[in-house]
Amino acid sequence: MSFTHSKIFIACAIASTLFISACSKSENENKTGTLTASAPATGEASTLTERNAQHRLIQTLTEHFKTAGLQAQIENVKPTEVPNLFWVELKGLPALYATADGKYIFQGDVIRLGDKKLFDVSEPLQAETNKALLGELNPKDLIVYKAKGKTKHIVYIFTDVSCPYCHKLHEQIDEMNAKGIEVRYIAWPRGEEFIPTMESVWCSKDRQTAFNQAISGEELPPASCKNPVLSQYELGIKMGVNGTPAIYTQDGVYLGGYLSANELSNRLNN
């Protein structure tokens, strides 16, 4: 398994037919809703048109992927607020944008201008997907640092014990918990060489203690067991993670990389 963290996986994919193994590494609420084949007809021509456009796009992209030797499976297609631009979710891979005719695909940020703050049009679409994916996680497969007193917020953080900023963030875990924030760590080794240590942590009887030791630089004894490290890494790829730490709310909103306890609390409360 290759651990390539670039969000621009398309160029790599074109160079190889092994698309997955080589690179696996609102204004209008109706516009961001999923259109599916089973969606009931409303009698509105625009809805029917959008549904037909979705089906045509899926067929066209599937054919183009096959022609290019790309083994990418489309899971979902959603219209964006940008005319003739769709958000395409792929199995096991980050989402991408596609033009309505299926001729062009790209990854990156599409920013809406005109307001005081810039707005990434993919945010609500990606957050919706992230929320569902995070909701499928079993807390028993994570490392959970519970809030002290009443739990006000829950955050999910993709982490790696080799990451300096993960270490810096972890130094503030007690302060985060004191502010009513429950932290749930998800394994995301930044390279193949870091997998054994993360597996040692996740295979330990006391993951918290093992994580505390490993992120402080202590060497853990090798361990092997059935563990979720690789599946959690793949989850991060699906959500677009390309570095650690990566902090998400329960609603799937990406808050950023390293944040101090105060910054995190302010972001969550506001």
CA 101 to chain centre: 27
Helices (H), the chain: 10-14, 19-23, 45-67, 123-135, 164-170, 173-178, 195-203, 207-215, 229-239, 261-269
Catalytic pick among 56, 109, 115, 166: 166
51 is catalytic: no
Catalytic pick among 23, 184, 190, 203: 190
Catalytic pick among 23, 163, 184, 203: 163
What sign has the CA pseudo-torsion 79, 118, 127, 188?
positive
Catalytic pick among 101, 115, 141, 160: 160
160 is catalytic: yes
163 is catalytic: yes
Contact indicator for 108, 146 with CB cutoff of 8 Å: no
- The CA distance from 173 to 182, in Å, is 9
CA max distance for the chain: 64
- The CA distance from 192 to 113, in Å, is 40
60 φ/ψ angles, rounded to the nearest 5 degrees: -65, -45
- The CA distance from 134 to 113, in Å, is 30
Contact indicator for 23, 9 with CB cutoff of 8 Å: yes
Q: Is 170 left (phi over 0), alpha (psi -120 to 50) or beta?
A: alpha
- The CA distance from 220 to 53, in Å, is 54
Tell me which residue has tokens 């497969």. Answer: 141
| Catalytic residue list | 160, 163, 166, 190
